[in-house]
Amino acid sequence: MALVLVSLALITVYFRESSGGTLHSAQRIGVSILTPFEVAGERVSRPFRDAYGWTADLVGAKSDNERLREEVEALRTQVIQNETAAEENKRLQKMLNYIGGSRYPVGFTAVPTQVIQKPPNPYAQQILVHAGTSNGVKIYDPVVTQEGLVGIVTDVTSGTAQVRLLTDQASAVSAEVLGTGASGIVARGPSDSSTLVLNRVPKDEVVTEGDLVITSGWQSGPLTSLYPKGIPIGKVSGVSRRDVDLYTRIQVTPLVDFGSLDDVIVLTAGDANKP
């Protein structure tokens, strides 16, 4: 009975206190202590997982698959760069000095790191990565892979950072459909964590299945988006325009396979980009 009461007290206090509270601080210390063990375990198990993945890929014509994947990746990157640059040129011409320079974020430094803890349960779509304040990582730094956006750093210790995935219920990213100008907010889908939804897109925007959704990287006065512009998020897999809805509802299939994240890149920036 006493332990049950202690547990309930812990839940209550932890849930109500701020992220700088006593329990959160104690938890960070605990995580710091456990990190070496988790890293060791991850390193021990990685060869076995890699061997399993290699064998599985071999069965499915690994080499062809790999070559085509790289080719698609290169072309996708090229398309994004071309179309984003063209779009930006048009806006610069129309809005004169409204945008004084490139809309690509400047000052972001890549911190490549490994995932040392996968999402522990379906409620907490978050991972732990092996990079922290000692690597320059700060809260609200965006996290990406070569495939697209992964999430954002929500907590950090000296050697680890907690990353909230795009599939978490608390995640929301300003995004636009490449080549159409349609923009909205990408969030987790209502049914499960494997799909995302692009909300708040006006009904007059023309969006079709297969269109690429990227971060919009907005700026409003002194405030800037936490995410750099042009990071791929996913592909449009469904478009719904019901009469009773104010906005078009767009289903997005993420480009990142959140179930097999091993290596990610944390984009660190100066304090000017933080809220």
Task: Give residues 232-271 in contact with other proteins (rule: CB under 8 A).
Answer: 259
SS3 assignment for 10-39: HHHHHHHCCCCCHHHHHHHHHHHHHHHHHH
| Whether the Cβ atoms of residue 233 and residue 166 lie closer than 8 Å to each other | yes
Interface segment toward other proteins; rule CB under 8 A; list 84-92, 145-153, 188-196, 205-213? 188-196
Nearest CB to other proteins, comparing residues 81 and 169: 169
* Min CB(70)–other proteins separation in Å: 26
Q: Does 190 bind other proteins (CB under 8 A)?
A: yes
* Min CB(185)–other proteins separation in Å: 19
Per-residue binding string, other proteins, 12-51, x by CB under 8 A, is xxxx-------x--xx--xx--x--xx-xxx-xx---x--
Nearest CB to other proteins, comparing residues 54 and 123: 123
Residue from 80, 128, 175, 239 touching other proteins (CB under 8 A): that is: 128
> 262 phi and psi, to 5 degrees?
-120, -50
Strand residues in 118-262 grouped as ranges (E)? 126-129, 142-144, 149-156, 161-165, 172-177, 183-188, 196-202, 212-215, 219-220, 223-224, 232-240, 247-254
Q: Which residues, 6 or more positions from 18, have their beta carbon under 8 angstroms from its beta carbon?
A: 24
Nearest CB to other proteins, comparing residues 158 and 169: 169
If one counts every other C-beta atom within 10 angstroms of the C-beta of residue 176, the result is 26
Site residues for other proteins per CB under 8 A = 3-4, 6-15, 23, 26-27, 30-31, 34, 37-38, 40-42, 44-45, 49, 117-118, 120-124, 126, 128, 155, 162, 169, 190-193, 259
